[in-house]
Structure 1
Amino acid sequence: MRDINEILAKKTVALQPSGIRKFFDIVRTMEGAISLGVGEPDFDTPWPIREEGIYSLERGRTFYTSNAGLNELREEIARYIQRRFGVSYEPLSEITVTVGGSEGIDLACRAMLDPGDEVIIPQPSYVSYEPCVRLADGVPVIVELKEKDRFKLMPEDLEKATTPRTKFLVLPFPNNPTGSIMTGEELAAIAEVAIRHDLYVVSDEIYTELTYNGEAPASIIQIPGMRERTVLINGFSKAYAMTGWRLGYACGPEPILRQMIKVHQYAIMCAPTTSQYAAVAALRDCDAEIARMREAYNQRRRYLLKRLEEMNIPCFEPEGAFYIFPNISKFGMSSEEFCTKLLTEEKVAVVPGTAFGQSGEGFVRISYAYSLEQLREAMGRIQRFVERYAN
């Protein structure tokens, strides 16, 4: 019998485990530890959503839906996109319901990439983009997002990274882990480069409802010429506190969506039926619930910024998602070392910036998807740690 390691796929073996989960797994075994590491809302799923899920079970709605999802849900998604961004999608051919936004990213990569095709990925960013590109035999091309630019993608950096082999750009805003957003004007500058070089875009907008600058969120699909070259990824996990329901969606040109559905039907069949019925209620009835949760996140965001300022830890002001990305380079430790020491000595888990790409070195991600009580206790412990190493 062959050594079992010889039958494993080399490209899968080469993938590194998520740096987020490493610290989360340690916390679970450490008594008295506080985790500020996982991007999961601490709110219960709003009751109208749960009620619809329960009702669907009581009615025996437990069968497969179509591969692309319930028609009713896709129609609600189309209405949501129209009222948020003023952009129309044909529900039955340009919208697909997925198992979370993460599956949508994977499907887009597998539907669009041939071996050797390049994908531009701004980093720091969500941990799944680069592995999904590699698993689809694409070539990730990393563009560093810089603190001096407020971690926004600069058009000149996109220009430099583009080659004749570039297939598409991943656009990860509002951003995890930095909390950075991009305005309509800034997106227009990116769109100009994309159109000139005939690039497609996979725009991950899972945090689009969680912005705090008082302006309506912007999407690159609003820019003339971009709807037809963009796959929009979104979902219900963050805005609606539905992480365990595992539901997302992709909107885009019908030829791309047709190929994404093909992969989806063989790998998944369809997204969970109960979750789909619940999501209809989310889109119809829960705008006020989103606003309530957004205000709570904003209060926590302001608290963390104030406490970090009091500790003299530099941190640009994030305007989206529920993360803050302070610069800890003055302590003379790597991000990994800082996080390991903080967890060992003060039992507080935050995530090293390098979990989101090497350009995250010198930073850590703190999630404020936790109660103010937890944040106050954690920041008190962090202050003790900072004072210990300040000199």
Structure 2
Amino acid sequence: MKGKLFLLTSLLTVASSMNIYAKDEPMRGIWISTVANIDFPKNIGDPLLQQEEMVNYLDELKEVGINAVMFQVRPTADALYESKINPYSNVLTGVQGKNPGYDPLEFTIKEAHKRDIEVHAWLNPYRVSKAGLDFEDLAVSHPARLDPSMIFVYNDAMYYNPELEIVKVHIENTIEEIIRNYDVDGIHFDDYFYPAGYPLPEGENGDGKVAEQRRYNVNDMVKRVSELIKEIDSDVEFGISPMGIWKNDLYDISGSATNGGQAYYDVYADARMWIKNEWIDYIVPQIYWEQGHKAADYETLVSWWNNEVLGTDVDLYIGQALYKDVVAKEIVEQLDVNKKYNEVDGSVFFTLDDLLEDREGSKGKLTEYFAK
């Protein structure tokens, strides 16, 4: 009997050291946005107040029932962590490249794991700047400033060129650095790939040679990142949150019965390919519409994505828009819709501020709903 008790204790100790949280529970995630200081940090330039801010957020999220945070650690090809590749983000101090006096990712992981909350490092692979930032505003150590051939400019914003091998290797190196140095539970991409509206050459269309090459560039990057993560640490999950519509059925009979922006054509993101090849562990389509929406009905899209992951090892979580009053009002009804579909295994909510500020009573509603 003593031997069995010792074995049980040992197994529990090992499980604890591996940061195994409520893996059998549905995903109840939240995006913590740092680009333009949307959610974090509010206290620019003050490391102690930033740490206090994060602790307060995590305490509140724990009370609501949130069990995972998608923490944006690379908003504009920079870093909210100590990096030899990318400069510290300006959202921390106001100056890109300036040491903030602590390591935000390391601190967040430590505090989140204390509360049994997973941390997925959220990266935008291509965005170098938002509109209006001059090239000289980049830190002198920024890879794009050291090698301007890596970028292109569109609508006054800078982007890494997805077709370049040097860019793909840079993204791989960035992710490898994070996984090797931090106890992250996942690597997470959002819905930005090629900039929306990036023009095609005259005479080309969304199904033409150039468009296909752009989708290949994105797919190649996703595949390589997937293989890299599994090679380094197969316990780290890889997930992507694409636009809520892959294609409308007007353009492809296998698309959804919707009439909105299409990730396949608008940003050259073929989520269906990622699912089919199981390059990702989970997908979080941003179904940011309400029930009964004329162009993009909520349940229509949940049903479509449910069918897409059927028979694969890709988990499906639904991205839900608490920043919209109409969605925040009906958030419980949307969660009840999710429960009707067997492949849906949770949700991720946007934004943190809207949740914690209880937009349309959503914080109270979710707290009560998750408590059940």
Task: Say whether the fold is shared (TM-score over 0.5).
Answer: no
Q: Which has the higher contact order (CA 8 A, sep 6+)?
A: 1
Q: TM-score, normalised by structure 2?
A: 0.28
Higher helix share: 1
